[in-house]
Amino acid sequence: MRYLIDFSYSGESFSGYQKQSGLRTIQEELEKVLTSINNFPVIVCASGRTDAKVSALHQKAHFDLRTSIPCYKLKKALNSYLPQDIHINTVTMVDGDFHARYMVKSKTYQYTINTGNYNPILRTHVYQYCKPLNVRLMKKAIKDFIGIYDFTSFSSAQDKRTNKVREIFEANIKVSNNNIIITFKAKGFLKYQVRSMVGTLIKIGEEKIAANSIPILIDKKDRKSAPFMAPANGLTLIDVEY
């Protein structure tokens, strides 16, 4: 039987989602518990990978079990055995041909920057920038990310995919108290793309580069032209839609 889970996690103490030898990862924790429940190895396939220190409110993943378990019982069992920094929000039974990665329609990421006093409580999930930024310029600039472009300039050198074209459906900035909340929605993102886009917006907010720089940087298709990258701890995967 194939199941789809919607789950949350705090990325602070993980080395990312994907399994890595000798490192603590979300995938490893999920597969360990599911294998115990299933009495047979289980492979969990998520909508995508998140990097070390990146959190999620609504990540999605599918897996197969040998036997049928009622969804409410499976959710209860998972939350009983998983560590407290991972939580299963919902469990749904899906068709056998459902795929959590290849059937994604959109992903929404949110990046939060604190421009007020340092907050030790939120330091693991909000970037403690703790200085003013010119939000007006940032709001003007972020609109230039919307559309279909080759985002090579905003990808990681480690990303070996030849096709760096992506479509940003939505991009906006809101301010709540001293927090600047930056949201991007797309079908998919390149490695470090969101953090690189945010890093460039921060430089614009610092008035170190012009607000109209983004189209120029995109056209260069050169990672060295936009080397700024915001820290991982301010980034959260908000939702995945199918």
> What pLDDT is recorded for position 1?
96
* C-alpha atoms less than 13 angstroms from C-alpha of 226 in its C-beta half-sphere: 33
Task: Give the pLDDT mean for 107-135.
Answer: 97
State the pLDDT confidence band at 161, using cuts at 50, 70 and 90: confident
pLDDT at 81: 97
The backbone torsions φ and ψ at residue 150, rounded to the nearest 5 degrees and listed phi first, read -85, 110
In-domain check, residue 101: no
pLDDT at 157 > cutoff 80? no
Same domain, 182 and 225: yes
pLDDT of the residue at 182: 98
Q: What is the mean pLDDT of residues 120-144?
A: 97
Identify the band that residue 150 occupies on the pLDDT scale cut at 50, 70 and 90: very high
> Could you give phi then psi for residue 89, rounded to 5 degrees?
-85, -45
Residue 158: its pLDDT value, please? 77
Q: Two tokens at 149?
A: 């472009």
Q: How many domains does the chain have?
A: 2
| Domain region containing 161 | 106-241
57 inside domain: yes
**Mean pLDDT of the 128-150 span:** 98
CA dist 45 to 31, 101, 103, 198, Å? 10, 7, 12, 28
Active-site annotation holds for 64: no
175 has pLDDT over 90: yes
Q: What percent of the chain is modeled with pLDDT above 70?
A: 100
Model-level pTM?
Answer: 0.95
CATH number at residue 231: 3.30.70.660
CATH number of the domain within which 45 lies: 3.30.70.580
Q: What is the pLDDT of residues 59-107, one digit of tens each?
A: 999 999 998 999 999 999 999 999 999 999 999 999 999 999 999 999 9
Q: What is the 8-class DSSP label of residue 234?
A: G
16-54 tens-digit pLDDT: 999 999 999 999 999 999 999 999 999 999 999 999 999
Element (H, E) at 149: strand 147-150
pLDDT at 41: 97
Q: Are residues 68 and 158 in the same domain?
A: no
Which of 94, 121, 144 delimits the end of a domain? 94
Which of 51, 64, 85, 239 is an active site residue?
51
